[in-house]
Amino acid sequence: MTDAALTTDTLAVTYTGNRRVEAVKGVSLEFPRNQLTAIIGPSGCGKSTLLKSLNRLHEIQPNVEISGDVTLNGRSVYDTDDPIPEIRKRIGYVPQEPTPLPLSIYENVAYGLRIHGEFESDADLDDRVERYLRKVNLWEEVEDRLDAPGAELSRGQIQRLCLARSLAVEPEVLLCDEVTSALDPVSAETVEETLADLKSEYTIVMVTHSMDQARRLADEIVFLYLGEVVETNDATSFFENPQAERTKEFVAGHGVAVPDDSDDEQSEKPSVTPEQ
Ligand SMILES: Nc1ncnc2c1ncn2[C@@H]1O[C@H](COP(=O)(O)OP(=O)(O)OP(=O)(O)O)[C@@H](O)[C@H]1O
């Protein structure tokens, strides 16, 4: 049986604004411990919505309904009295856009540790900041300018700084939402190399548009289509021996886009009904 750090049980997410959109439709998944799982699928299939619902990040926007559950190391993420910041500490999130805090390089990493009071002395804080900058392969590039603003770094360096900030509070799971797609190819490669180094030590769930990146990095693949899981498998089996017809088409590079609403009334798209 899989040793799963994170599981979902018939998790469903519906946007209830001007129109109802069933973005994630009753998804049950297991994310294995200390492995990198890539969530892939065509644009609009619900990848980001699924990722954000894993640590309740979607709750920062109005008009979202959720049912089902997420379990982190045996404890419900939804049916709990734990404060949401505590949940998001245990399940970290790195967004697509590299976003430094308006603080120094050092303080960007120290930030969460200071908030959660998780250091014993200044020397301990220094050690932790260095440890996590090393983990993301950034220490040697910044050790002589730790007091400089984080925003002065290159975008690839900032994204690694954001990874260090997330890792410093020792999350049980790390969510990565297209973390290389806003970067130039060289920066994207350095961030990808960092994820490759981290993945045996952390449970990582990553959304990516890049099949090549999923092939290079992922241990496990979840293929979503129209808010449902079409296929999930270890990466080698998924790419070399896809089972579902939809997966075969997707892997072969076909059927990539969810049809546009305006093209065809009968076309497949996330279930949308007008607001009552
Ligand atoms: N805040 C929102 N309000 C209403 N509908 C939304 C909202 N966010 C996403 N959606 C809809 O939910 C569906 C899933 O969107 P989501 O962003 O999760 O897909 P995705 O697979 O991550 O897309 P992409 O690959 O383009 O980033 C889409 O139909 C989208 O239009």
Tell me how far the alpha carbon of residue 127 lies from the centroid of ligand 1, in angstroms.
40
**Is residue 220 a contact partner of residue 37, using CB atoms and an 8 Å limit?**
yes
Cβ count within 10 A of residue 249: 14
pTM of the model: 0.89
44 lines ligand 1 (CB under 6 A): yes
Handedness of CA 266, 246, 188, 132 (dihedral sign): positive
By the 8 A CB rule, do 100 and 150 touch?
yes
ipTM over 0.95: yes
How far is ligand 1, taken at its centre, from the CA of residue 170, in Å? 29
Which CATH class for the 4-252 domain? alpha beta
Judged against a pLDDT cut of 70, whether residue 185 lies above it is answered with yes
SS3 (DSSP) at 11: strand
CA of 44 to the centre of ligand 1 (A): 5
Compute the distance between CA of residue 191 and CA of residue 28 in angstroms, rounded to an integer.
29
Q: Count CB neighbours of 255 within 10 A.
A: 16
pLDDT at 20: 94
As a whole number of angstroms, the distance between CA 234 and CA 219 comes to: 6
Task: Compute, in degrees rounded to 10, the torsion defined by CA atoms 209, 210, 216, 219.
Answer: 20
Residues 60-112 have pLDDT tens digits of 788 999 999 999 999 999 999 999 999 999 999 999 999 999 999 999 999 98
Cα-to-centroid distance, 47 and ligand 1 (Å)? 8
Question: Ligand 1 pocket, 43 CB below 6 A?
Answer: yes
Residue to substitute in 24, 40, 49, 224 for testing ligand 1 pocket (most ligand atoms within 8 angstroms of CB): 49
Tens digit of pLDDT for each residue in 3-33? 999 999 999 999 998 899 999 999 999 999 9
